Amino acid sequence: MAKRGVFPANSSHTFFTLLSLLSFICFARTTGESRGAAFVRRLDPNKLGLGKEKLSHFRFYWHDIVSGPNPSAVVVVQPPTNASTAFGMVRMIDNPMTERPELSSKLIGKAQGFYASAAQQEVGLIMAMNFAFLQGKYNGSTITVLGRNPVFSKVREMPVIGGSGLFRFARGYVQVRTHNFDLNTGDAIVEYTAYVFHY
């Protein structure tokens, strides 16, 4: 009497099916890994000229000018209702950044981006802007800020999420304090203090 095998009668078909499936999985995994290696790889930071990380402190005054014949902040989306918080309003900015609170003091850069009224129960903005520096060794470099600004709080804080030029790989935060707000014109002078890690 013939000995019964471990596999059933159609065992060769089952074996080849399993072998084919295993080969396909291995091929797919290998192909995926080789594709991944084609678009991403590890780099030595020194090869990019990145030295020791530094922490820099900046203080300047941000001028939000909404009045007059040449405003630096203009509404590009009107709020859909007349709510006191102007919920839904979007304003594009090219605001001067100066060394002192006076607009006539030294211009160190421009804050370019937009802010939008993003709160229904309070005046709260979402702000996205680049601090584009125009002076000294920072000329042409930018710091990018994105965050929430509840404008009537005494001190607000927003994160630094990146930068360009001398501020590549930047991270940190800004603290914001209103220096002056003109109820008649809507113009504001705001003190920005920034703490930025960069290379």
Digit-coded pLDDT (tens) for 56-91: 999 999 999 999 999 999 999 999 887 889 999 999
| CATH of the domain spanning 51-198, picked from 2.60.40.10, 3.30.300.100, 3.90.1300.10, 2.40.480.10 | 2.40.480.10
Q: Which two tokens stand for residue 109?
A: 């850069």
What are the boundaries of each domain within the chain?
Answer: 51-198
3-state secondary structure 61-81: EEEECCCCCCCCEEEEECCCC
Task: Please write the tens of the pLDDT for every residue from 1-50.
Answer: 555 545 455 555 665 665 566 666 655 555 544 455 678 888 888 777 77
Mean pLDDT of 154-158: 98
Say if residues 128 and 114 touch (Cβ distance below 8 Å).
Answer: yes
